[in-house]
Amino acid sequence: MKTATNSEEWPPLSPLRTGVRGLCPRCGKGGMFLGFLKLRPRCEVCGLDYSFADPADGPAFFVMMFFCVPAVGFALWLELAYEPPAWVHLVTTLPLILLTCIPPLRPLKGWLVATQFFYKAEEGRLANPKQPIV
C-alpha cells in the first residue's frame, strides 16, 4: 500500500473527474463514500484521511438553488396555468422534484471534498496579535 503524501508520488488529479465519480482525490482509485452521503474515514487504497473534508451544507445549497427552485417553479406554473387535480401533481411534480433534488447530492459533495483537497482549503483561523504573520 502506498502511503506517501508528497506530490511527486501523487500527481494532482482533477477535482471534477475524481469528486463527481466519488473517487479519492489523491489516488483516484479508492471510493470516497461509505453510504449515499457518508464519507469514509480514509481511502482504502492510499490511506488519505478524509477528516480535512467539510463540505457542510454546500451540496444541499447548490441542489436547492439550481435544481429545486426550477422544479418548484414548474409545479407552481402547472398549478396556476392549468389548475390540475392533485393526482397530476403526484405523477408529474413529485417525481420531478425527487429526481432533480436527490441524485445530484452525492456528485456535488464529492466534487466539493475533492476541491477542498486539491486547493488545500482549511478552516479559517483568527490571527494571534502577539505573533507576527509569516
Domain membership flag for residue 131: no
**pLDDT tens figures, 18-47:** 999 999 999 999 999 999 999 999 999 999
Domain membership flag for residue 36: yes
Domain membership flag for residue 64: yes
Number of domains in the chain: 1
Q: How confident is the model at residue 131 (pLDDT cuts 50, 70, 90)?
A: low
Which domain does 97 fall in, by range?
15-118
Quick check: pTM over 0.85?
no
Contacts of 2 (CB under 8 A, 6+ apart): 9, 27, 45, 46
Domain membership flag for residue 34: yes
